[in-house]
Chain A
Amino acid sequence: MSTDEIVIAGNPNAGKTSVYNRLTGASQQVSNYPGVTVEYKSGVMRHAGKRLTVVDLPGAYSLTAYTQEELVARNYIVDRKPALIVDVVDASNLERNLYLTTQILEMRAPTVIALNMMDAAERRGYQVDAARLSQLLGVPVIPTVASRGTGVNELRDACIAVIEGRLDAMPAPVRFGHAVDEEIAALTGQVGAYPSLVEMFAPSWLATKLIEKDPVVYGQARAIAPEDAASLKALADEAAHRIETHFDADAATIVAEHRYGIAAGVVKACVSFTAQARRDMTDQIDKIVCNRLLGPVILVGVVAMLFFWVFKLSDEWAWLPWPGGWQSPTGVVAWSFDVLSSFLSPLEAYAPMLHSLLDAGIIGGVGGVLNFVPLIFFMFLFVSALEDSGYIARVAFILDRPLRVFGLQGKSILAFIVAGGIGAGGCAVPGIMATRTMREDKDRLLTMLVTPFMNCGAKMPVYAMLIAAFFPGDRILVMMTLWALSWVTALCAAWVLRRTIVRGTQTPFVMELPPYHLPVLRGVLRHTWERTWMYIKKAGTIILAINIVLWALMYFPRPPDEVDDSDALAYSMAGRAGKTLEPVSAAAGFDWKTNIALIGGFAAKEVVVGALGTAYALEDQTDENYHSLSERLAAHPDWNPVRGFALMIFVMLYAPCFVTIAVIRRESGSWKWAAFATLYSTALAFVLAVITYQVGMVLLPYF
């Protein structure tokens, strides 16, 4: 048993994350995405001189083996045997929340219940008797309103008291009722005969799960003691059979119904109606937001507003006071890099190679990426606020039917939105992680395979540069076109994949529509920062490294003296690779220098602009008249708007970045799908870029 670990479990929407944030407070360092390198979000709680690790388990409605999230939560408790489980229960939705609670209590581990959202329960006109609840369940119950911090200190005190052994938190045995209890008790006795199993599982829990015919638990038991598990399984099957004949339904159903029976009994004993419920806000809002006619209109309106505000706040409005006049957040970042670059310029005379590396390779590459941090930040700020408010669930509700035509489902929408599906500038990594809430494997896989087509923040620098070069007057129009194209491609790809490679029957869609509430600023900012930080970190690590490697590949080997200096790039390693591909890529209008950039972009698309900049800057060092890459390309005889547009299409669609590929591999469970995602999207991107270029070149003279 680990003595200093607390895990937080609970239903989605019960305020689990608020409790976690409150417990760990500011002391928690913002770590990786749960899942990128570590499977769980964890932080440190300091209280009363103690230092405890707090782990946030994924939200779950149940601890059966039907979804990834539930399995992760359950296995964590089984494997790690935490010192304490904090079960976050939504007091305003007590009965369904207690269903999970009974399953947690069945695991026979010390548990404290955070009876959260007491304010919402009161608003709905009822009072929950925490003392009575504690008495019935046999574990401490602390009333909280985590979003406001109410009751959090008491919760911390209780956690410490349990860990120090001053407070008993061992749950009372769960009683299912006549005929079921007897079978579980008998089998529990049998389990006691196998010490290796008792070491791993609470005997009564193992007995219950075996009677429920839970395949995962059986597998775990068999891994420890194959023969013991098999003989127990035989006994459990007999017990299940007796229960099934008695109730005329399958054992798992009976046990589940009994759990709800317990929950209903507890609710009856602990909840009293104090007042007439005030008019339910959620009903009023839903009447408008989910209305057959208004709903879709509002949805479009919300997306348009998001688009508008993100661009205005991050880029177009100069609203930050800054030395030398008002600046937009993007302006501030650009300003900082200009200053940095001017500091470096004296270096050029003394150490041209170092200057080239720092200026073109690092400032050009990383700076171009960090320019988009404000945009990403505001994008995630609005998306997190929408997620927190409960509106995204309504979007899924409204769009489930139309998405089903393409083999997707309502919940796919969250992945698309987080990956940049509305407005611009998200990230496919958290997008793919967002598919974890989908119980349906096929739908989930399909969503993962098409999510990278959305216009993530990494593609923004490329678009911005090419739009500035070739479509300076039509920025909004081109962005809207790219946005529409990403959706059309994602949906069509899903449609085709569903009918070919990811075949399977349509799977169930059951989704809670949580009550609306005002987003909690703290939580939203925290979530936004985590997602933005990931983008910044990528710029500082992977992208920096690739930029340096690419720069080196483009700089070395240096040509021998007899070769003209302007051919140095062609002579370099990257130049040779680019030239090799040129006969093929020419069909889409890409020259060898573009190829170099696109090869670099396999790792991360942010690299494309920097690499293209380096390639063109290295190639012609003769004139320094061009202020930016955009100007250089706009004036370049080989480039035209069609070629620019074909490049944007290719960048939008080709292979997901390395981090995304790694996440697809982990979330889909196999390299096969990660490799498939890379290959099919690159092939698709190339075909579409060729079509764009060829058709565009035919039409170009007419414009």
Chain B
Amino acid sequence: MKKTLFDLITGDTARIVRIHENAPACVRMRLLDMGLTKGAALRVERHAPLGDPVEIVLKGYRLAIRMSEARSIEVELIAEREFSPASS
């Protein structure tokens, strides 16, 4: 089972493997324009109060993406979230 941005939890860092070809061209182009290129590293920052959208940090800025789009962003995990007593 390939991992996507959808599967990551807050605090995970990952590298983008590819954007699924079955995503519509406008979605793929939009994600590319925002810097979600092959090999780019990202960190999952938080989810909105209802769990969707997800906020990620990449190339030094913050980006909100819906979970439905997150499903078409295939990633490989770099590091799972670090244990920190402050987070719940």
Contact = CB atoms under 8 A, between A and B. Distances in A.
Interface of A: 61-62, 64, 66, 92-96, 99, 124, 252-253, 256-257, 260, 282, 286, 290-293, 295-296, 393, 396-398, 400-402, 410, 439, 506, 508-515
B50 A512 contact: no
Contacts of B30: 66, 439, 508, 510
Interface string B29-50: 1111111011010000110111
B69 A295 contact: no
A290 B55 CA distance: 10
B64 interface: yes
Contact of A510 (B38, B49, B59, B69): B69
B35 A99 contact: yes
Contacts of B49: 290-293, 295-296, 398, 401
B48 A513 contact: no
A76 B65 CA distance: 30
A253 B20 CA distance: 12
A509 B33 contact: no
Contact of B26 (A66, A257, A397, A512): A66
A253 B25 CA distance: 10
Interface size class of B (residues with CB under 8 A): 20 to 34
Nearest to A256: B32
Contact of B29 (A66, A513, A514): A66
Contact of B63 (A99, A260, A513): A513
B26 A96 contact: no
B33 A64 contact: yes
A517 B40 CA distance: 27
B85 interface: no
A397 B60 contact: no
Residue of A293, A393, A402, A508 ringed by the most chain B CB atoms within 10 A: A508
Contacts of A61: 33-34
Interface in B42-79: 45-46, 48-53, 55, 59-66, 68-69
A400 B38 CA distance: 27
B35 to A, nearest CB: 5
B45 to A, nearest CB: 8
Contacts of B63: 510-513
A66 to B, nearest CB: 5
B36 to A, nearest CB: 9
A509 B53 contact: yes
B68 A506 contact: yes
A513 B64 contact: yes
Contact of B27 (A96, A393, A508): A508
Residue of B25, B28, B49 ringed by the most chain A CB atoms within 10 A: B49
Given A260-B35, A509-B66, 9 more contacts: A66-B26, A252-B25, A253-B28, A286-B45, A293-B49, A400-B53, A508-B27, A509-B65, A510-B30
B64 A397 contact: yes
A510 B65 contact: yes
Contacts of B59: 93, 95-96
B29 A286 contact: no
Residue of B27, B55, B65, B66 ringed by the most chain A CB atoms within 10 A: B66
B48 A401 contact: yes
Nearest to B67: A401
Nearest to B72: A508
Nearest to B63: A512
Contact of A397 (B31, B48, B61): B48
Nearest to B24: A508
A256 B64 contact: no
Would you list the 5 A-B pairs with minimal beta carbon distance, nearest first?
Answer: A62-B33, A513-B62, A401-B50, A256-B32, A95-B59
A458 B73 CA distance: 46
B26 A508 contact: yes
A513 B37 contact: no
18 contacts: A66-B29, A66-B30, A95-B59, A253-B32, A260-B32, A260-B40, A290-B48, A292-B49, A293-B49, A396-B64, A400-B53, A506-B68, A508-B30, A508-B31, A508-B68, A509-B53, A513-B55, A513-B62
